[in-house]
Chains A and B, each alone.
Chain A
Amino acid sequence: MGAPPPFTDREADFLRTLLEEGVEFLVVGAAAAALQGAPAVTQDIDLWFANLSDPRLLRALRRAGAAYVAPTLQNPPLLVGGGAELFDVVVHMHGLGSFRQEARRALRLRVGDLELPVLPLARIIASKKAAGRAKDLAMLPALEDALRALEARRRARTGRSARGRKPRR
Protein backbone atom coordinates (compact mmCIF):
# COMPACT_ATOMS: atom_id res chain seq x y z
CA MET A 1 0.00 0.00 0.00
CA GLY A 2 1.42 3.40 -0.96
CA ALA A 3 1.74 6.37 1.39
CA PRO A 4 -1.38 8.52 1.73
CA PRO A 5 -1.23 11.77 -0.23
CA PRO A 6 -0.14 14.81 1.79
CA PHE A 7 -3.32 16.71 0.93
CA THR A 8 -6.97 15.93 1.30
CA ASP A 9 -9.00 16.32 -1.91
CA ARG A 10 -10.25 19.71 -0.70
CA GLU A 11 -6.73 20.92 0.05
CA ALA A 12 -5.52 19.81 -3.38
CA ASP A 13 -8.55 21.53 -4.94
CA PHE A 14 -7.64 24.73 -3.13
CA LEU A 15 -4.11 24.69 -4.56
CA ARG A 16 -5.45 23.81 -7.99
CA THR A 17 -7.81 26.76 -7.83
CA LEU A 18 -4.95 29.12 -6.94
CA LEU A 19 -2.99 27.86 -9.95
CA GLU A 20 -5.99 28.02 -12.31
CA GLU A 21 -6.80 31.58 -11.26
CA GLY A 22 -3.17 32.58 -11.83
CA VAL A 23 -2.67 33.72 -8.23
CA GLU A 24 0.97 34.64 -7.64
CA PHE A 25 2.27 32.65 -4.69
CA LEU A 26 5.24 30.62 -3.54
CA VAL A 27 5.45 27.63 -1.23
CA VAL A 28 7.99 28.67 1.41
CA GLY A 29 9.21 27.56 4.84
CA ALA A 30 9.67 24.02 6.11
CA ALA A 31 7.24 22.48 3.60
CA ALA A 32 9.23 24.01 0.73
CA ALA A 33 12.44 22.68 2.29
CA ALA A 34 10.90 19.21 2.65
CA LEU A 35 9.79 19.23 -0.99
CA GLN A 36 13.45 19.75 -1.93
CA GLY A 37 14.71 16.86 0.17
CA ALA A 38 15.40 18.42 3.56
CA PRO A 39 14.40 16.24 6.51
CA ALA A 40 12.21 19.04 7.88
CA VAL A 41 8.94 18.39 9.67
CA THR A 42 5.99 20.73 9.62
CA GLN A 43 2.32 20.84 10.43
CA ASP A 44 1.30 23.26 7.73
CA ILE A 45 2.32 24.69 4.39
CA ASP A 46 3.39 28.31 4.25
CA LEU A 47 2.23 30.24 1.21
CA TRP A 48 3.73 33.62 0.37
CA PHE A 49 1.33 35.64 -1.75
CA ALA A 50 2.42 38.51 -3.96
CA ASN A 51 -0.64 40.55 -3.07
CA LEU A 52 -3.26 39.62 -0.52
CA SER A 53 -5.79 41.98 -2.10
CA ASP A 54 -5.33 40.51 -5.58
CA PRO A 55 -8.85 39.95 -6.98
CA ARG A 56 -7.64 36.61 -8.41
CA LEU A 57 -6.79 35.42 -4.89
CA LEU A 58 -10.18 36.54 -3.60
CA ARG A 59 -11.87 34.78 -6.54
CA ALA A 60 -9.84 31.61 -5.90
CA LEU A 61 -10.79 31.68 -2.22
CA ARG A 62 -14.47 32.10 -3.13
CA ARG A 63 -14.28 29.23 -5.63
CA ALA A 64 -12.71 26.99 -3.00
CA GLY A 65 -15.27 28.01 -0.38
CA ALA A 66 -12.51 29.59 1.71
CA ALA A 67 -11.97 33.06 3.14
CA TYR A 68 -9.12 35.31 4.19
CA VAL A 69 -9.09 36.63 7.75
CA ALA A 70 -7.01 39.79 8.08
CA PRO A 71 -4.50 39.99 10.93
CA THR A 72 -5.42 41.66 14.20
CA LEU A 73 -3.60 42.02 17.49
CA GLN A 74 -4.97 38.62 18.44
CA ASN A 75 -4.36 36.63 15.26
CA PRO A 76 -1.97 36.46 12.31
CA PRO A 77 -3.45 36.49 8.79
CA LEU A 78 -5.41 33.28 8.26
CA LEU A 79 -7.14 31.26 5.58
CA VAL A 80 -10.29 29.52 6.77
CA GLY A 81 -12.72 27.02 5.23
CA GLY A 82 -12.58 25.12 1.95
CA GLY A 83 -9.60 22.99 2.86
CA ALA A 84 -7.48 26.12 3.26
CA GLU A 85 -6.66 25.61 6.95
CA LEU A 86 -3.59 23.53 6.11
CA PHE A 87 -2.06 26.64 4.58
CA ASP A 88 -0.51 29.53 6.50
CA VAL A 89 -0.32 32.98 4.99
CA VAL A 90 3.13 34.53 4.91
CA VAL A 91 3.27 38.27 4.36
CA HIS A 92 6.99 38.84 4.73
CA MET A 93 10.11 36.71 4.34
CA HIS A 94 13.04 37.94 6.44
CA GLY A 95 16.28 38.63 4.65
CA LEU A 96 14.93 38.13 1.13
CA GLY A 97 14.13 40.41 -1.77
CA SER A 98 10.64 41.38 -2.88
CA PHE A 99 8.15 38.69 -3.85
CA ARG A 100 8.79 39.37 -7.53
CA GLN A 101 12.57 39.09 -7.16
CA GLU A 102 12.26 35.80 -5.33
CA ALA A 103 9.55 34.46 -7.64
CA ARG A 104 11.97 34.77 -10.57
CA ARG A 105 14.21 32.16 -8.90
CA ALA A 106 11.33 29.86 -7.94
CA LEU A 107 11.44 26.16 -8.75
CA ARG A 108 8.40 24.44 -10.18
CA LEU A 109 8.00 21.09 -8.47
CA ARG A 110 5.45 18.47 -9.41
CA VAL A 111 3.42 17.41 -6.40
CA GLY A 112 0.90 14.83 -7.54
CA ASP A 113 -0.91 16.40 -10.48
CA LEU A 114 -0.01 19.94 -9.40
CA GLU A 115 3.03 21.94 -10.38
CA LEU A 116 3.80 24.22 -7.46
CA PRO A 117 6.09 27.27 -7.40
CA VAL A 118 8.58 26.70 -4.60
CA LEU A 119 11.22 28.97 -3.02
CA PRO A 120 14.67 27.37 -3.56
CA LEU A 121 16.33 25.81 -0.52
CA ALA A 122 19.24 28.26 -0.54
CA ARG A 123 16.77 31.15 -0.19
CA ILE A 124 14.89 29.38 2.61
CA ILE A 125 18.18 29.06 4.46
CA ALA A 126 18.94 32.75 3.90
CA SER A 127 15.54 33.66 5.28
CA LYS A 128 15.85 31.44 8.35
CA LYS A 129 19.29 32.91 9.10
CA ALA A 130 17.88 36.42 8.83
CA ALA A 131 14.82 35.64 10.97
CA GLY A 132 17.16 34.32 13.67
CA ARG A 133 14.43 32.75 15.82
CA ALA A 134 15.53 29.77 17.91
CA LYS A 135 13.32 27.35 15.94
CA ASP A 136 14.70 28.66 12.63
CA LEU A 137 18.32 28.41 13.77
CA ALA A 138 17.73 24.88 15.08
CA MET A 139 16.75 23.77 11.57
CA LEU A 140 19.77 25.27 9.84
CA PRO A 141 22.23 22.35 10.11
CA ALA A 142 19.71 19.94 8.55
CA LEU A 143 18.80 22.43 5.82
CA GLU A 144 22.45 23.12 5.01
CA ASP A 145 23.23 19.40 4.79
CA ALA A 146 20.24 18.97 2.47
CA LEU A 147 21.51 21.83 0.29
CA ARG A 148 24.93 20.15 0.06
CA ALA A 149 23.26 16.90 -1.01
CA LEU A 150 21.02 18.70 -3.48
CA GLU A 151 23.90 20.63 -5.05
CA ALA A 152 26.06 17.50 -5.27
CA ARG A 153 23.26 15.72 -7.12
CA ARG A 154 22.78 18.74 -9.39
CA ARG A 155 26.47 18.82 -10.22
CA ALA A 156 26.38 15.09 -10.94
CA ARG A 157 23.43 15.64 -13.30
CA THR A 158 24.98 18.53 -15.16
CA GLY A 159 28.51 17.13 -15.10
CA ARG A 160 29.83 20.28 -13.43
CA SER A 161 32.47 20.42 -10.72
CA ALA A 162 31.94 22.23 -7.38
CA ARG A 163 33.54 25.31 -8.98
CA GLY A 164 31.01 25.33 -11.79
CA ARG A 165 33.33 24.01 -14.48
CA LYS A 166 32.67 21.00 -16.63
CA PRO A 167 35.37 18.40 -15.99
CA ARG A 168 37.54 17.45 -18.96
CA ARG A 169 37.00 14.01 -20.33
Chain B
Amino acid sequence: MRLDRDRIRDLARERGYSLAGLLRSADVSRTAYYSLVRRPSVVPGTVRALARTLGVPAREIFRDDGGSAIERGALRVTEARAICRNAAGASFDGVWHALCLLDLPPIERLQRSLTRGRATPLHR
Protein backbone atom coordinates (compact mmCIF):
# COMPACT_ATOMS: atom_id res chain seq x y z
CA MET B 1 0.00 0.00 0.00
CA ARG B 2 1.30 3.41 -1.06
CA LEU B 3 0.54 6.83 0.34
CA ASP B 4 -2.07 8.52 -1.87
CA ARG B 5 -0.49 11.86 -2.82
CA ASP B 6 -3.62 13.05 -4.60
CA ARG B 7 -5.77 12.29 -1.58
CA ILE B 8 -3.34 14.10 0.73
CA ARG B 9 -3.28 17.09 -1.59
CA ASP B 10 -7.10 17.18 -1.87
CA LEU B 11 -7.60 16.88 1.89
CA ALA B 12 -5.01 19.60 2.49
CA ARG B 13 -6.69 21.92 -0.01
CA GLU B 14 -10.14 21.33 1.53
CA ARG B 15 -8.72 22.38 4.88
CA GLY B 16 -6.96 25.41 3.48
CA TYR B 17 -3.42 24.11 3.66
CA SER B 18 -0.75 24.33 1.01
CA LEU B 19 1.46 21.25 0.98
CA ALA B 20 4.25 23.24 2.65
CA GLY B 21 1.79 24.50 5.29
CA LEU B 22 0.54 20.99 5.93
CA LEU B 23 4.05 19.64 6.40
CA ARG B 24 4.95 22.54 8.69
CA SER B 25 1.82 22.07 10.82
CA ALA B 26 2.34 18.32 11.01
CA ASP B 27 6.02 18.85 11.82
CA VAL B 28 6.97 16.52 8.98
CA SER B 29 10.04 17.35 6.94
CA ARG B 30 9.85 17.52 3.15
CA THR B 31 12.53 14.84 2.97
CA ALA B 32 10.51 12.46 5.14
CA TYR B 33 7.32 13.20 3.18
CA TYR B 34 8.84 12.63 -0.26
CA SER B 35 10.67 9.58 0.96
CA LEU B 36 7.33 8.10 2.10
CA VAL B 37 5.31 8.98 -1.01
CA ARG B 38 7.99 7.49 -3.28
CA ARG B 39 8.00 4.15 -1.47
CA PRO B 40 6.20 1.38 -3.33
CA SER B 41 4.76 0.33 0.04
CA VAL B 42 4.55 2.06 3.41
CA VAL B 43 3.59 -1.20 5.09
CA PRO B 44 6.46 -2.53 7.23
CA GLY B 45 8.39 -5.45 5.76
CA THR B 46 7.34 -7.79 8.60
CA VAL B 47 3.66 -7.19 7.85
CA ARG B 48 4.25 -7.77 4.13
CA ALA B 49 6.12 -11.00 4.93
CA LEU B 50 3.22 -12.25 7.07
CA ALA B 51 0.70 -11.37 4.37
CA ARG B 52 2.83 -12.94 1.65
CA THR B 53 3.15 -16.15 3.65
CA LEU B 54 -0.60 -16.20 4.23
CA GLY B 55 -1.20 -15.52 0.54
CA VAL B 56 -3.33 -12.43 1.13
CA PRO B 57 -2.85 -8.73 0.43
CA ALA B 58 -1.40 -6.84 3.41
CA ARG B 59 -4.60 -4.85 3.93
CA GLU B 60 -6.40 -8.11 4.81
CA ILE B 61 -4.49 -8.51 8.03
CA PHE B 62 -5.22 -4.99 9.27
CA ARG B 63 -8.25 -4.39 11.43
CA ASP B 64 -10.20 -1.18 10.85
CA ASP B 65 -11.99 -0.57 14.13
CA GLY B 66 -12.96 3.00 13.38
CA GLY B 67 -9.86 4.24 15.11
CA SER B 68 -9.25 6.95 12.55
CA ALA B 69 -12.61 8.62 13.23
CA ILE B 70 -12.03 8.38 16.97
CA GLU B 71 -8.53 9.77 16.54
CA ARG B 72 -9.87 12.69 14.49
CA GLY B 73 -12.46 13.38 17.17
CA ALA B 74 -9.90 13.26 19.95
CA LEU B 75 -7.61 15.67 18.08
CA ARG B 76 -10.52 18.03 17.56
CA VAL B 77 -11.41 17.94 21.27
CA THR B 78 -7.83 18.85 22.15
CA GLU B 79 -7.86 21.64 19.58
CA ALA B 80 -11.19 23.03 20.85
CA ARG B 81 -9.98 22.94 24.46
CA ALA B 82 -6.81 24.80 23.53
CA ILE B 83 -8.78 27.50 21.71
CA CYS B 84 -11.17 27.92 24.65
CA ARG B 85 -8.25 28.12 27.09
CA ASN B 86 -6.78 31.01 25.14
CA ALA B 87 -10.00 32.95 24.51
CA ALA B 88 -12.08 34.42 27.29
CA GLY B 89 -15.78 33.97 26.61
CA ALA B 90 -15.35 31.15 24.08
CA SER B 91 -17.81 28.29 24.36
CA PHE B 92 -16.54 24.77 23.85
CA ASP B 93 -19.73 23.81 21.97
CA GLY B 94 -19.44 26.72 19.57
CA VAL B 95 -15.76 26.16 18.87
CA TRP B 96 -16.26 22.41 18.53
CA HIS B 97 -19.04 22.80 15.97
CA ALA B 98 -17.03 25.34 14.01
CA LEU B 99 -14.03 22.97 13.93
CA CYS B 100 -16.28 20.15 12.68
CA LEU B 101 -17.55 22.44 9.92
CA LEU B 102 -14.05 23.62 9.04
CA ASP B 103 -13.19 20.00 8.24
CA LEU B 104 -15.83 20.06 5.49
CA PRO B 105 -15.48 21.83 2.15
CA PRO B 106 -17.32 25.20 1.93
CA ILE B 107 -20.04 23.81 -0.33
CA GLU B 108 -21.05 21.27 2.32
CA ARG B 109 -21.04 23.93 5.03
CA LEU B 110 -23.41 26.04 2.94
CA GLN B 111 -25.56 23.04 2.12
CA ARG B 112 -26.02 22.27 5.83
CA SER B 113 -26.80 25.89 6.61
CA LEU B 114 -29.48 26.15 3.93
CA THR B 115 -31.03 22.75 4.65
CA ARG B 116 -31.36 23.53 8.33
CA GLY B 117 -32.48 27.09 7.71
CA ARG B 118 -35.27 25.93 5.46
CA ALA B 119 -36.36 23.24 7.89
CA THR B 120 -36.37 25.40 11.02
CA PRO B 121 -39.05 28.11 11.23
CA LEU B 122 -37.33 29.51 14.34
CA HIS B 123 -34.46 30.79 12.23
CA ARG B 124 -36.53 32.30 9.42
Q: Do A and B come from one complex?
A: yes
Assess A111 versus B106: contact at CB under 8 Å? Given A34-B113, A141-B94, A149-B98.
yes
B16 and A152: CB pair below 8 A?
Answer: no
- Which residues of A lie under 8 Å from residue B21 when comparing CB positions? 157-159
A31 and B113: CB pair below 8 A?
Answer: yes
A34 and B118: CB pair below 8 A?
Answer: no
For chain B, the count of residues having a C-beta within 8 Å of the partner chain is 40
Chain A 88-115 per-residue mask, 1 if CB under 8 angstroms from chain B, else 0: 0000000000000000000001111000
Dominant secondary structure at the B interface:
helix
Cross-interface CB contact of B83 among A36, A142, A148, A158, cutoff 8 Å: A148
Assess A159 versus B117: contact at CB under 8 Å? Given A34-B109, A41-B123, A145-B90.
no
CA distance in complex: A30, B80 (Å): 22
Closest Cβ of chain A: how far from B90's Cβ, in Å?
5
Report the tally of A-B residue pairs with Cβ distances under 8 A.
117
Please give me the residue from chain A that is nearest to B101 by CB atom: A37
Cross-interface CB contact of B116 among A36, A41, A150, A154, cutoff 8 Å: A41
A148 and B87: CB pair below 8 A?
Answer: yes
For chain A, the count of residues having a C-beta within 8 Å of the partner chain is 38
Please give me the residue from chain A that is nearest to B18 by CB atom: A157
Known: A42-B123, A145-B91, A156-B25. 14 other contacts (CB 8 A): A6-B111, A35-B109, A36-B109, A41-B123, A43-B118, A43-B123, A111-B107, A141-B91, A142-B97, A145-B90, A145-B97, A145-B98, A149-B99, A153-B16
- A sample of 14 cross-chain residue pairs with beta-carbon separation below 8 angstroms, ordered by A number, consists of A6-B114, A31-B114, A38-B101, A42-B123, A109-B106, A110-B105, A112-B107, A145-B90, A149-B99, A149-B102, A154-B16, A157-B16, A157-B18, A157-B25
Binding site for B on A (CB under 8 A): 3-6, 30-31, 34-45, 109-112, 141-142, 144-146, 148-150, 152-154, 156-159, 162
Instruction: Give 8 closest A-B pairs by Cβ, nearest first.
Output: A145-B94, A34-B113, A149-B98, A146-B98, A41-B117, A6-B111, A37-B102, A41-B116
